[in-house]
Structure 1
Amino acid sequence: MQEDAKILIVGSGVFGLSTALWLARAGYRRVTVFDMQDTETAGYDPGVGIESASADINKIIRFSYGDEIEYQRLASQAAEIWDKWNQQIASLATERRDELPEVLQKGEPKLWYKCGFLRMGAASEFSDYEIQTLRNMEKEGVRGTQFKSDDDADIERASRTGWAHKLDVCRRQERFGVHKAVLDSSAGFVVAYKACAWAQHLARKAGVEFILHPTKGRVVGVDTSNPDKPVVRTVDGVTHEGYLVVVAGGGWTAGLLPEADGLIETTAGSVATIQLPKDRQDLWERFSPENFPVVTWGMHEGRVSDKDIYSFPRDENGVIKIGFRKTKWTNYDDVAGKRISIPKAVHAKETNIPIPALEAVKEYISVNLPELAGLGISSTRLCWYTDSIDNSFVVDFVPGRPRVAVCSGGSGHGFKFLPVLGREVVRILEGKGAETVYGRMWKWRTSDKEKRNGLEEGEDGPRVLGKQRLASREDWVFREHVS
């Protein structure tokens, strides 16, 4: 590509933002990002109605990837930039606060919190995934950041370095006599909506143009009838011709690229929140990032566990977010003559989650955080994103459409790579994908496996949202706490 090539990006979430930012840094001067939501004015804040997996209150920063050491390494590279972004923002907040995006002028001017990440098992032994993760941490020379709950040397080191209070925050050893967990002191979380606002701010400063509007920015089709001049068509009837189109639409990607059906699938995770009362200073202190880590319960334990729960410390508004990952829901509709899963938000935003998801969240609270049960659930929602057949990203040119690329398949773990993902995407767009480990990992692919991350189920499968009973507000209450 020439530096004056017109590059059109669909989607201003993590994948689109990172791609745009790194294209601009690589010298491409005509990069335009389309989105149907005004993410700039709203600052990506989900509290004002932005509907996107990227527009969230927080996301996990982790380095534990089992035997997938390439993702562990990429996450470590991203963490170095997260650190730099924190430093840049802190400096601006002190010297030129008005130059920060508006959402970063409010509250604490900080994106990422290294509060630790407690990988808490639900079984009596460590999973193979956890054992392999620790081997890879050792291989990379960062085993010292990991504290194993049953290792005397690790416990002593945690005490000496100030991490002991986060090794068993749910008091499982005391209450149940068993606690199998690993605390990663290098991990934590980012304030997701502020991070996206900051990345968009950097992209604009680098020369990227954004069209963020419900009609002017909403892409409804990608026309490649002239393969040398791909066209993006927006809902207002306007066509935009480019040299290259990159579809990075998150949960909306599969609907714009029906040929990706079978490789990626739009799914929804289930999220619930608990609002801490402002007069409960004891809870505010207990669940602060200083005292409470990000926690997962029973994730990556295969058949041993049906938990797959994660939770965060409270945010600056006293909100604790808890998510259920075991089952990811689908929502099928007609798209270009095919039945494809698309976000429910296209038609009507769904704020209720299926009963099994709510019950799993309530079990996690009842078993591990019983002091929160009396508060009840404050809100629930579905978080729509895109899974791939193997949970690895999909970044490649679309077969048969040489000037159209897909940048998707975040599979629920893409956000942490926001600062660095676009670096690898640009290499792929420049035709160097076969030369890089990530280009080979993320290429367009098929699978002949019987199980393909649930994509083999289709509309007949058990995860279809329309087949579920959704939880009502009455279900949010913990019955044993009703007076």
Structure 2
Amino acid sequence: MQQPISLNPDSKILIVGSGVFGLSTALWLARLGYRRVTVFDMQDTESTGYDPGAGIESASADINKIIRFSYGSKIEYQRLASQAAEIWDQWNQEIASLAGEELPEVLRRGERKLWYKCGFLRMGAGTEFADFELQTLRNMEMEGIRDTQFKSDDDADTERAKRSGWAHKLDVCRRQERFGVHKAVLDSSAGFVVAYKACAWAQHLARKAGVEFILHDSKGKVVGIDAIDHDKPVVRTADGMAHEGDLVVVAGGGWTAGLLPEADGLIETTAGSVATVQLPKDRPDLWDRFSPENFPVVTWGLGEGTGNDKDIYSFPRDENGVIKIGYRKTKWTSYGDVAGKRISVPKAVYVTEKNIPVPALEGIKEYISVNLPELAELGLSSTRLCWYTDSIDNSFVVDFVPGRPRVAVCSGGSGHGFKFLPILGREVVKILEGKGDQTVYGQMWKWRTSTAGKRNGLEEGEEGPRVLEKQRMASQEDWVF
């Protein structure tokens, strides 16, 4: 439901959250001429460079995220991802051309690169291709980019992969040799980005464009959003201050539902499960095998709907030799009291849950044992929960909040939002300017409800089986293979 709102270059726009959705919105607002944009965050994402190792608790603050273009029938996301990739390319080139002192601190260390086009192997767990995969290939063909895809059982594709230098990534787990079957598609246009460096770069660009950031555990911590008599919204922070704006955009990731309890039923805070394997520096064979040059991003049985769903993803090693593996089959909830309602909220910042539920750990161990047995001897080096926000249908939620004049929500990343960091804000600004009804994304992302019995798990509530407090958490003793 769009509310009429008039914005001008001097409108005071307050954004809650300095993750991907908040950063992209702030950057595009500034670049489109809005001069008074302020971003609030309770974590100091600037001095830490979004580094998860520095204690930043956010889905955006991660070592890496997948860049993919495979979206089944959702061609609008495929197209937006392709546009984002063009800017990822530009950012790589821009970073490479700058002197060290012109870069944020985290980009002066290690590899000065955000986006690695290492390929994305969508690997099935069964003997047939899932409908989602076949629909994706039809869409790729319709868009004229089918030649970037290599289907493992297609002779023409495998021959083309040999000619173009991608054949060594078509079956990196040697499934055909070991099991006699390998159903997969390699997307040579996809890969991953170094997430924390990408966020630090986007914040750097936003600051250069004039965006102000208030990043502090009390001054930047938003505890409430009110309205005053003339309908202007006020952001209240933990230090007791009230900040009046012409528009407030809540882009708080997993914390969004806690600030906007009326969004309960449309978005829900959930946690994915992540584990890492640390490659020893005295194993150059493994460093070489799992380098981005030799190993793609891999998914295994992800959302197949064929009874073979494994819902696992993994990355090549990063520059420090860390291999990240994630489990998405079940996304966990954790309930707390918010404005008289029981709503799923993240575990408290700075009290990060280091353990993951046993089913998630077992799923990750199965992936390693079956597909990457050479990593089993090394064992796991860490586990953690990654808090983000699911929407009712896995599509984003960007719209004005019913009953809250001049307050908008920008959330619902549903585990696939990071790739759009360079481009998302372009579409968000159109919606904030009241043009959402005129764009395909404004229509897709509008405030909505569903009468369907199942709503992406949001219908379960606190009685459902995914509640974290009902799970047995895996300890380090369970890491043993």
Residue 298 (structure 1) aligned with residue 304 (structure 2): no
Equivalent position to 2:97, from 91, 100, 108: 91
Alignment check: 8 A CA contact 1:395 1:439 kept: yes
Equivalent position to 1:33, from 39, 45, 57: 39
TM-score normalised by the chain length of structure 2: 0.98
| d(CA) in 2 for partners of 1:14, 1:6 | 21
Equivalent position to 2:84, from 63, 78, 85: 78
Equivalent position to 2:369, from 361, 366, 380: 366
Query: How many residues matched?
Result: 475
Equivalent position to 1:50, from 30, 44, 56: 56
Alignment check: 8 A CA contact 2:23 2:202 kept: yes
Report the equivalent of 1:181.
Answer: 184
Alignment check: 8 A CA contact 1:227 1:401 kept: no
| d(CA) in 2 for partners of 1:90, 1:385 | 31
| d(CA) in 1 for partners of 2:348, 2:377 | 31
DSSP 3-state at the match of 2:46: helix
After the TM superposition, which residues 131-280 of structure 1 pair with which residues of structure 2 at under 5 Å, given as runs?
131-226=134-229, 228-280=231-283
Counterpart residue identity of residue 226, structure 2: D
Equivalent position to 2:321, from 318, 329, 333: 318
DSSP 3-state at the match of 1:466: helix
| d(CA) in 2 for partners of 1:205, 1:228 | 31
Give, in angstroms, the shift of residue 402 of structure 1: 2.4
1:215-250 Cα deviation digits (max 9, x unpaired) = 000000000243621000000110000000000000
Residue 356 (structure 1) aligned with residue 349 (structure 2): no
Counterpart residue identity of residue 34, structure 2: Y
Alignment check: 8 A CA contact 2:232 2:405 kept: no
Cα RMSD (Å): 0.7
DSSP 3-state at the match of 1:178: coil
Give, in angstroms, the shift of residue 346 of structure 1: 4.3
Alignment check: 8 A CA contact 1:395 1:444 kept: yes
| d(CA) in 2 for partners of 1:449, 1:412 | 22
Alignment check: 8 A CA contact 2:57 2:349 kept: no
Counterpart residue identity of residue 457, structure 1: E
Stretches of structure 2 that go unaligned for 5 or more consecutive residues are 1-6
Equivalent position to 2:284, from 265, 281, 286: 281
Equivalent position to 1:472, from 468, 475, 481: 475
DSSP 3-state at the match of 1:402: coil
| d(CA) in 1 for partners of 2:163, 2:252 | 46
Give, in angstroms, the shift of residue 306 of structure 1: 3.2
TM-score normalised by the chain length of structure 1: 0.98
1:344-397 Cα deviation digits (max 9, x unpaired) = 134832110000000000000000000000011100000000000000000000
Paired-residue identity, %: 84
Closer, same or farther: CA 201–347 of 1 in aligned 2, 3 Å: closer
Alignment check: 8 A CA contact 2:276 2:323 kept: yes
DSSP 3-state at the match of 1:9: strand
| d(CA) in 2 for partners of 1:397, 1:124 | 46
Alignment check: 8 A CA contact 2:130 2:306 kept: no
After the TM superposition, which residues 399-410 of structure 1 pair with which residues of structure 2 at under 5 Å, given as runs?
399-410=402-413
Alignment check: 8 A CA contact 1:227 1:403 kept: no
DSSP 3-state at the match of 2:38: strand
| d(CA) in 1 for partners of 2:338, 2:382 | 31
Stretches of structure 1 that go unaligned for 5 or more consecutive residues are 479-483
DSSP 3-state at the match of 1:422: helix
